[in-house]
Structure 1
Amino acid sequence: MSLLRVRDLNVRFQQGAAATHAVRGVSFEVGRGETVALVGESGSGKSVTALSTVSLLPDSAAIEGSITYDGAQMVGASEKELRRVRGNDISFIFQEPMTSLNPLHTLEKQLAESLSLHQGLSGQAARDRIVELLHQVGIPEPEGRLKSYPHQLSGGQRQRVMIAMALANGPDLLIADEPTTALDVTIQAQILELLAGLKRERGMSMLFITHDLGIVRRFADRVCVMRHGEIVETGPTARIFADPKHSYTQTLLAAEPTGSPDPVPADAPEIARTENLKIWFPIKRGLLKRTAGYIKAVNDASVSVRAGETTGIVGESGSGKTTLALAIMRLISSEGRIVFQGRDIQGLRSREVRPLRQGMQIVFQDPFGSLSPRMTVAEIVAEGLKLHDTGDTRPHREQVAEILSETGIDPGTMDRYPHEFSGGQRQRIAIARAMILRPKLVVLDEPTSALDQTVQVQIVDLLRDLQKRHKLAYLFISHDLRVVRALSHNVVVMQRGDVREQGPTDAVFDNPSDPYTRALMAAAFDLKADAADAVAV
């Protein structure tokens, strides 16, 4: 008998007179001890389907069909019955723990709340159970973490706390909604290994929601492929990957960045270079704010990039990747040499650097966060033209139309606002904003990590095309090593502020010399090595 059975599920969201049909006739089952993956692009209905299981959708949602858990009907169940099931029999792990954990409460208080509600535990009994849970999910020295707040933990540790909260009451079904998307490859590997181990020990069932097919291949027993609110194909994982029947499934499986960038001419000029760059942030303590120590963000980093070349910068969160790039752009203070187009810019004053900013631009990870919701696309893209003289005397709207067309956005949509575009389109707008100033150096800070795999491929192709056309130098920061390999000529591997290894991409990927690099490659490409070594190195 199946633990969870969904039959002919339909979900509609009513917004005024209009209704959005988000899920259409979805049917699937999750057996006891089984892992079923729901895969598909953003907006395909995966999360809505999962939240429907225990009626966690807003009041504007109308749910039709049948959802049974352990034989009990969930659609139309009383709030009392749903509360008994939520967090007790069925638990959730969400994608971004920082938004799921209360920033004002300690870990102990947040974990104790669930134990009190469902098991009646309090005081020392609850504290002992919390320490046990934190230990199970791999939080070091859990007794000392009870009074910690979420912001005092790393991303991987916050996700482990979310898993501890989900497992607190011994659920039979764990629903994990993109639980590793925002994590580095080594942390991702650890979280997946942790979930797999807990599943084996407890005999749990799992409904795993993701757009990362690499995770699905390693982790799921069966796969349901969703598109436009419907399940277009379902079957055992091995069969789906070996012989996909539906054209959309075939497209998803083929959507992986491949190939390599065009070679760089031997006489290509150097665009940017650092020599022995050091970035230490002082730790101030006491009434007089004396320096008690330093956060050593970057130590002795020497990197370079030429016209038409991409230097990939990889490593875990906190390794110094973004800090290094921001220092090169003179957005934060540093020591050592920074050379941009043959000029040492380290000692320049802010007003002397300002004219150079036209030649160095940045594209961020989250385009929705970096694009003003109050400005139209035309205003966003043209903003830089008001500050810098590119030498182009054409009207700004004409220049905006040209760069939007070049980056794959219909110029006729330039008077719309960012929320009216998909995630991939918003990233194209962010790229257009940087490219309209015709820069020489572009910092790409995780520009594809928040995107579906099919959209990732499109953005990688766009970046290659723009680089070839304009001989752009890229500093490409990412924890997705597959994308780095497809786009980068050279790779710099960083850990805790140190450059552990650097060189041509193929050499570093195929024959890494540093133990940390080998652990990164193992985590990213599922090699026979312990990804946890990356943290220990």
Structure 2
Amino acid sequence: MSALLEVKGLNVSFRQDGRISQAVRGVSFTVNRGETVALVGESGSGKSVSALSTVSLLGDSAIVEGSVTYDGQEMIGASEQRLMDVRGNDISFIFQEPMTSLNPLHTIRKQMAESLALHQGLVGAAALERILELLVKVGIRDPETRLDAYPHQLSGGQRQRVMIAMALANKPDILIADEPTTALDVTIQAQILELLADLQREENMGMLFITHDLGIVRRIADRVCVMKAGEIVESGSTEEIFANPRHPYTRKLLAAEPKGRPDPVPAGAEEVARTDHLRVWFPIQRGFLRRTVGHVKAVNDASISVRAGETLGIVGESGSGKTTLALAIMRLIGSEGGITFRGEDVRSWSTRELRRLRKDMQIVFQDPFGSLSPRMTCAQIISEGLAIHKVDPHRAPRELVAEVMQEVGLDPATMDRYPHEFSGGQRQRIAIARAMVLRPRLLVLDEPTSALDMTVQVQIVALLRDLQRKYGLAYLFISHDLKVVRAMSHKVIVMRQGDVIEMGETEALFTNAQTDYTRSLIAAAG
């Protein structure tokens, strides 16, 4: 079997502020026709840089040395015209977040038509026929109704399917998939992986699959290359790597899975939050007079309870109402039904009355970079709420910041750095510190680990357990990662299309799910 893509002794460095930093050192691997090679490792290990080097997509600051051949032809130093011919035609990319890869100002029809016109010269009816054929192939239902949709009008899974359709439009020999399922629900993730495997078999493509999730690697890859600090530290068949990992770093990655269970909820623990028949319906308005013609039932009749020291896991696919339910409990969006916080009915409270409760209800979001101001230092971010809520006014804010940074595992000496100077896991710790400095009673954790490497996930789960044990925190833990939910939660509710379809103790629900939908979620999580 001849190697379609061969990388030998690849070195990549970047010039920045007069300095040169090396990102990739001596990387070598091959991708054969019809096989999947996985590049795995933590963020910053050089996976994406290695992949982007194959067709010179790294920009002018990059210094690339070594050899990259596609179908026997050297790509490093190739003419721009040769690279343009290969990019998107012979070697195609799918990236992690389709919202940043698709143009938000153009319809799906226009974006796909541009690619077909550029690479195949297809226009008009011929292009439309090919677009519809591709959308059907990647599992978009009723593609005719989606042609004139903009990216924001599609779900995450649909956007990723469109990206796959665009990548396959020109029948590439090699597909490079860079974390293509990280931001997706478990059921959608399973569908996308199955789709990629089917398409690969049909087209006999080679695939370079970049991920930090070894569960996905086991399911999809033929061979694995493990990267650390810019180098491949171990490679071999998937079966061999999983059965007999030789390098300590590989063993560390394989062991990086949230384990154990949370501490039992103390007897007689206070009920922190409760909802009774809560619903959030958004009106659908049409016509010149904006008459209400129906409702989007984002949350429909949800009755839940969470106590001090208890974690309530909330699971379900995107759009099921998980985050909407949490925001309604925090009184950040309007709702109907009962909301009780620490024994007080807060449903009818005014904004002024709610202000005294705000410090007791805090939230940590999925993307720690997007939720932290890039113009503020770590100290400014963490201390911002102290003055607003007048927390411990007799102590210096920097003293409180240093204390909470130590508590979440950050070095107080770094408090004057900006978010971009921290790793993803450190940024998530800053977000947790920002919430914890106010000493809340209820913490909403909205996908707090899904953007993080597996080893960092384990650390964040351990940190959250420690904080809950120390302060008796009540958690609403929203996630599509059922392994993390199982490790964190005392009780779990399953949501689908706004309805709570199942609720129960975590172990009982995972071992004896009562609905087909819950069983499908658990099966998709592997």
* Equivalent position of 2:247 in the other structure: 246
Confirm whether residue 259 of structure 1 aligns to residue 288 of structure 2. no
1:266-277 mapped onto 2 (5 Å cutoff) = 266-277=267-278
Q: CA deviation at 1:105?
A: 1.1
- C-alpha displacement of 1:98: 0.7
CA RMSD of aligned residues (A): 0.8
- Structure 2 match to 1:314: 315
1:485 pairs with 2:486: yes
Q: What is the distance in 2 between the residues matched to 1:375 and 1:167? A: 42
Indicate the residue corresponding to 1:417 in structure 2.
418
Aligned to 1:533: none
Cα distance in 1 between the residues matched to 2:417 and 2:435: 19
Q: Which residue of 2 aligns with 1:179?
A: 180
- State the match for 2:400 in structure 1: 399
Give the residue type in structure 2 aligned to 1:439: P
The amino acid across from 2:295 in the alignment is Y
In 2: Cα distance, 1:106 partner to 1:332 partner: 30
| Amino acid corresponding to residue 337 of structure 1 in structure 2 | G
Deviation, structure 1 residue 201: 0.9
Q: How do residues 376-455 of structure 1 correspond to structure 2 at under 5 angstroms?
A: 376-391=377-392, 393-455=394-456
Alignment correspondent of 1:510: 511
Cross-structure match for 1:130: 131
Letter in 2 for 1:491: V
Aligned counterparts of 1:125 and 1:373: Cα–Cα separation in 2: 47
Q: Which amino acid is the alignment partner of residue 260 of structure 2?
A: G
Alpha-carbon deviation of 1:109?
1.2
Look up the SS of the partner of 1:368 in the other structure. coil
The CA deviation at 1:266 is 2.5
Correspondence for 1:531: none
Within 1, Cα distance between the matches of 2:253 and 2:131? 40
**TM-score, length-normalised on structure 2?**
0.99
TM-score (norm 1): 0.97
Shift of 1:391: 4.2
| In structure 2, C-alpha distance between the alignment counterparts of 1:79 and 1:426, rounded to whole Å | 38
1:460 aligns with 2:468: no
Give the distance between the partners of 1:137 and 1:38, measured in 2 at CA: 24
**Shift of residue 367 of structure 1?**
1.1
Task: State the one-letter code of the partner of 2:121.
Answer: G
In the alignment, structure 1 residue 335 sits paired with structure 2 residue 336:
yes
Unaligned runs of 5+ in 2: none
> In structure 1, how many angstroms separate the alpha carbons of the residues matched to 2:17 and 2:431?
32
Q: Aligned AA for 2:337?
A: G
In structure 1, how many angstroms separate the alpha carbons of the residues matched to 2:269 and 2:17? 58
The reply to whether residue 67 of structure 1 matches residue 73 of structure 2 is no
Q: Give the C-alpha shift of residue 425 in structure 1.
A: 0.4
Quick check: 495-504 or 110-119, which moved more?
110-119
| SS of alignment partner, residue 361 of structure 1 | strand
List runs of 5+ in structure 1 lacking aligned partners: 526-537
In the alignment, the residues of structure 2 paired with residue 154 and residue 326 of structure 1 have an alpha-carbon distance, to the nearest angstrom, of: 20
> Which sits farther off after the overlay, 101-110 or 168-177?
101-110
- Report deviation, 1:418: 1.0
Residue 286 of structure 1 aligns to which amino acid in structure 2? G
Instruction: Supply the distance in 2 between the matched residues of 1:303 and 1:13 (Cα, whole angstroms).
Output: 52
CA distance in 2 between counterparts of 1:7 and 1:367 reads 36
Q: 1: CA distance between counterparts of 2:99 and 2:370? A: 16
Residue in structure 2 matched with residue 170 of structure 1 by the alignment: 171
Residue equivalent to 1:195: 196
Identical positions, percent? 73
Cα distance in 2 for partners of 1:83, 1:236 equals: 33
Distance in 2 (CA, whole Å) between partners of 1:127 and 1:391 is 64
Paired residues, what number? 525
Match of 1:311, SS state, is strand
Post-superposition shift, 1:16? 3.1
Aligned-partner residue type, residue 517 of structure 2: Y
CA distance in 1, matches of 2:92, 2:43: 22
CA distance in 1, matches of 2:38, 2:277: 47
Per-residue CA distance 1:468-510 (angstroms, 9 max, x = gap): 0000000000000000000000001001000010110001111
CA distance in structure 1 between the partners assigned to 2:393 and 2:337 by the alignment: 35
- SS state at 2:207 partner: strand
Distance 2:342 2:54 in 1: 57
- In 1, Cα distance between equivalents of 2:171 and 2:114: 15
CA distance in structure 2 between the aligned counterparts of 1:103 and 1:125, rounded to whole angstroms: 25
Which sits farther off after the overlay, 382-391 or 408-417? 382-391
What SS is found at the alignment partner of 2:177?
strand
3-state DSSP of counterpart to 1:293? strand
1:92 positional shift:
0.5
Give distance in 2, aligned partners of 1:425 and 1:123. 50
- Residue 392 of structure 1, CA deviation: 5.8
Deviates more, 1:46-55 or 1:393-402: 393-402
List 4+ stretches of structure 1 deviating above 6 A.
none
Provide the C-alpha distance between the structure 1 equivalents of 2:290 and 2:123, rounded to a whole number of angstroms. Answer: 40
Q: Distance in 1 between matches of 2:115 and 2:210?
A: 23
Q: Distance in 2 between matches of 1:283 and 1:108?
A: 26
Distance 1:140 1:198 in 2: 17
Structure-1 separation of matches of 2:481 and 2:125: 43
Q: Which stretch shows the higher mean deviation, 131-140 or 279-288?
A: 279-288
Distance, in Å, in 2 between the alignment partners of 1:161 and 1:111 is: 9
Distance in 2 between the 1:348 and 1:472 partners? Answer: 23
Per-residue Cα deviation, 1:122-155 (whole angstroms, up to 9, x for no partner): 1101100110000000001112221111111111
- Local SS of the residue matching 1:109: helix
Q: Distance in 2 between matches of 1:58 and 1:100?
A: 17
Q: Does 1:206 align with 2:216?
A: no
